[in-house]
Chains A and B, each alone.
Chain A
């Protein structure tokens, strides 16, 4: 049992993630609903059941002004994640058919080919140098390539993407001006894709489908198209890169897990769920109370911000045996990594498949590896590994 208490300015971004699992243990044991002074002040909810209940109750918990806290360098609500019922349903329905398992299965040959190529490049890099940054060479480019193909982003533009993501997502808590500038650049880029789509010069992809789509019998407005484009970009690239990187981070520190998954690649899907439960890229999402309410005895007033701490719920001892152990053979794994209810992550089928396929190819191609230096479990920064010479 941790003897820590929850910091009064509890945070779930950046450096705070280094020790956040200790914070979770303290909250779950001592104060499952509590207050943080961070980001203008918010209540956190940490128990799995409480988070589940809140996600099922959009009448009490609004996603406005944004589910993302702090915001993503833009004042516009992101469609559909920042939209409440009843408007939400029509906006979400447009996207649903594009992300079903069947739609995602069509991408599978390309997913295998790209994972194989990138893993081969990593292997080659090891021949030139004893230490390779597999975040830079594998975890980050993989989802960028897969998602850009799906969305219809021209390949020539891909090199710009990682910097925008770094600035918008990772600089926003440190340097809001940098994030806002990158946000403006991304909006301008999405506008160009829309204009190219209207002119008939764009590649086919989700952005093209959205131009043809209708909501309530009318085409989408330019602002709505920008909002969709902005969200898909941010949701599709960085989260999966993080999930692949954090999985490789774990495996680099656990040779037995590597051996098991190499010998039995059919176990990778269960292992991937466990990595999503324990090392997920989305540790928390925000809501706003629409009316006065009470959660686990704590009164929360209308208008107050609330953060659903998925990462804590995923380590709730009432739900998981040995919740802080990463057990890659765990079978009962009803985790909250993709959220739940009407706003659950639409890209979960895509993200899961990218994670599983990339890990399988990585393990099939790269022999036993370990961390070359201490690296944080979180984020999309470097992950330098070296080969152990084993296996």
Chain B
């Protein structure tokens, strides 16, 4: 099953994912993005695709699926 993932080594806290797909991503106290626990495999594909294409650090990946961009 495809799962969405943020690479913590790349995320710099631009928070684009949180703006574009708040049902999937959350932001920690230092401003870094994370996938909400339990939402890795169930997400709005269109919103997540938009988050991927707008992440300046190219930090969001969908694993186990065709690359979205």
For residue A364, CB closer than 8 A to chain B, the reply is no
Residues of chain A within 8 A (CB-CB) of B58 are 52, 334
Interface residues on A, range: 20 to 34
Residues of chain B within 8 A (CB-CB) of A158 are none
Q: Could you tell me the distance in whole angstroms from the C-beta of A370 to the nearest C-beta in chain B?
A: 31
The answer to whether B15 and A332 have CB atoms under 8 Å apart is no
Q: Is the interface of A mostly helix, strand, loop or mixed?
A: helix
Interface residues of B in 53-69 (CB under 8 A from A): 53-58, 69
Residues of chain A within 8 A (CB-CB) of B29 are 97, 100
B18: nearest residue on chain A (CB-CB)?
A101
The answer to whether A344 and B56 have CB atoms under 8 Å apart is yes
Residues of chain B within 8 A (CB-CB) of A333 are 53-54
For residue B41, CB closer than 8 A to chain A, the reply is no
Residues of chain A within 8 A (CB-CB) of B55 are 334
The answer to whether B30 and A97 have CB atoms under 8 Å apart is yes
For residue A39, CB closer than 8 A to chain B, the reply is no
Q: A96-B30, A102-B27, A332-B69 are in contact. Are A341 and B19 (CB under 8 A)?
A: no
For residue B31, CB closer than 8 A to chain A, the reply is yes
Q: A93-B30, A332-B54 are in contact. Are A269 and B19 (CB under 8 A)?
A: yes
Interface centre among A101, A332, A352 (most CB of B within 10 A): A101
For residue A340, CB closer than 8 A to chain B, the reply is yes
Q: A93-B30, A332-B69 are in contact. Are A101 and B54 (CB under 8 A)?
A: no
Q: Is the interface of B mostly helix, strand, loop or mixed?
A: loop
Interface residues of A in 332-378 (CB under 8 A from B): 332-336, 338, 340-342, 344, 348-349, 352
Residues of chain A within 8 A (CB-CB) of B53 are 331-334
Residues of chain B within 8 A (CB-CB) of A100 are 13, 15, 27, 29-31
B53: nearest residue on chain A (CB-CB)?
A332
Q: Could you tell me the distance in whole angstroms from the C-beta of B26 to the nearest C-beta in chain A?
A: 10
The answer to whether A338 and B31 have CB atoms under 8 Å apart is no
In the bound complex, what is the Cα–Cα distance between A332 and B58 (angstroms)? 12
B55: nearest residue on chain A (CB-CB)?
A334
Q: Could you tell me the distance in whole angstroms from the C-beta of B61 to the nearest C-beta in chain A?
A: 14
In the bound complex, what is the Cα–Cα distance between A336 and B56 (angstroms)? 7
In the bound complex, what is the Cα–Cα distance between A332 and B12 (angstroms)? 19
Interface centre among A336, A340, A341 (most CB of B within 10 A): A340
Interface centre among B12, B13, B53, B69 (most CB of A within 10 A): B12
Residues of chain A within 8 A (CB-CB) of B50 are 331-332
In the complex, the 4 A-B pairs of residues with the closest C-beta atoms, listed nearest first: A100-B31, A332-B53, A96-B30, A344-B12
Given contacts A100-B13, A349-B31, 18 further A-B contacts (CB under 8 A): A52-B58, A100-B31, A273-B54, A331-B50, A331-B53, A332-B53, A332-B54, A333-B53, A333-B54, A336-B56, A338-B14, A338-B56, A342-B12, A344-B13, A344-B14, A344-B56, A344-B57, A352-B19
A-B contact pairs, 21 of them (CB 8 A): A93-B30, A97-B30, A97-B31, A100-B13, A101-B31, A102-B27, A273-B54, A332-B50, A332-B53, A334-B54, A334-B55, A338-B14, A340-B12, A341-B12, A341-B57, A342-B12, A344-B12, A344-B13, A344-B14, A344-B56, A344-B57
